[in-house]
């Protein structure tokens, strides 16, 4: 059943995806993991407006730390141990905000000529402008432990997409609820 628009505004939409080779009924790579690494003081920002930017907490704004700490805590609750990158973690967790600002303009011409009180002419074109800004929070789990087995490539084995961050009524608390939901719908993220 599809929720109505009012429900979508109240709560953020949460979508999770996992690598089917890494998580299956017969094998769950998350059960073989023990240690993870992640930063809790910064959040990546991929933006159509800004370049090479990291989000950091500013004065009076706890969004970055509150979100990254909640993600960290969910992995700790699942039985994993947080370590530094130098302590050979099994997986890394990335938290990224996708900032997408779109701006569209369309020039519309009247498709006909007209007579108006003895004056023959055409309708002048008019310009229609649309803009939209969307913010999607992405949480990624990157397999470090199986780097060599994956052809010397890092493999993203789980992603959560949470949005729209900008349209939320209460961005901080609704984002934290959405992080909880991402883990609730991914029960396979659990240490054996």
Q: Which DSSP symbol is given to 34?
A: -
Q: Are 56 and 64 in contact (CB under 8 A)?
A: yes
Q: Map residue 85 onto helix, strand or coil.
A: helix
Q: Give CA–CA dist 8/174, Å, rounded.
A: 12
What are the two backbone dihedrals, phi and then psi, of residue 159, each rounded to the nearest 5 degrees?
Answer: -140, 145
Q: Give CA–CA dist 73/49, Å, rounded.
A: 31
Q: Map residue 97 onto helix, strand or coil.
A: strand
Condensed to tens digits (0 to 9), the pLDDT of residues 155-183 reads 999 999 998 887 777 788 888 999 999 99
Condensed to tens digits (0 to 9), the pLDDT of residues 8-48 reads 556 788 999 999 888 888 789 999 999 999 988 778 777 76
Quote the Cα angle for 22-24-25, to 5°.
Answer: 150
Q: Which DSSP symbol is given to 31?
A: G
Domain ranges of the chain: 5-99+133-184
CA dihedral over 136, 171, 60, 76, signed as positive or negative: negative
Condensed to tens digits (0 to 9), the pLDDT of residues 42-101 reads 787 777 666 555 555 554 457 888 899 999 999 999 999 999 999 999 999 999 988 876
Whole-structure pTM value: 0.76
Would you state the pLDDT for residue 59? 42
State yes or no: pLDDT of 113 exceeds 80: no
Question: Using 50, 70 and 90 to split pLDDT, how confident is the model at 133?
Answer: confident
Cβ neighbour number for residue 36 with a 10 Å cutoff: 21
Q: Give CA–CA dist 67/40, Å, rounded.
A: 8
- Assigned token pair, 192: 């054996």
What would the CATH number be for the domain defined by 5-99+133-184? 3.30.160.670
């Amino acid at each position: 059943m599809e929720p109505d628009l009012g429900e979508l505004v109240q709560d953020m939409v949460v979508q999770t995806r996992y690598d089917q080779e890494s998580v299956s009924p017969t094998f769950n790579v998350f059960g073989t993991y023990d240690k993870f690494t992640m930063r809790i003081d910064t959040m990546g920002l991929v933006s159509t407006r800004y370049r090479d930017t990291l989000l950091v907490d500013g004065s009076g704004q706890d969004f970055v730390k509150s979100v990254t700490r909640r993600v960290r805590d969910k992995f700790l609750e699942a039985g994993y141990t947080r370590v530094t990158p130098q302590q050979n973690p099994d997986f890394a967790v990335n938290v990224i905000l996708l900032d997408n600002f779109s701006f569209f303009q369309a020039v519309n011409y009247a498709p006909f000529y007209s007579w108006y009180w003895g004056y023959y002419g055409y309708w002048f074109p008019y310009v229609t402008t649309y803009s939209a800004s969307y913010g999607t929070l992405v949480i990624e789990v990157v397999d470090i432990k199986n780097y060599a087995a994956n052809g010397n490539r890092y493999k993203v084995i789980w992603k959560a997409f949470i949005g729209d961050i900008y349209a939320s009524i209460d961005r901080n608390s609704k984002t934290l609820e959405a992080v909880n939901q991402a883990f609730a719908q991914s029960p396979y993220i659990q240490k054996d």
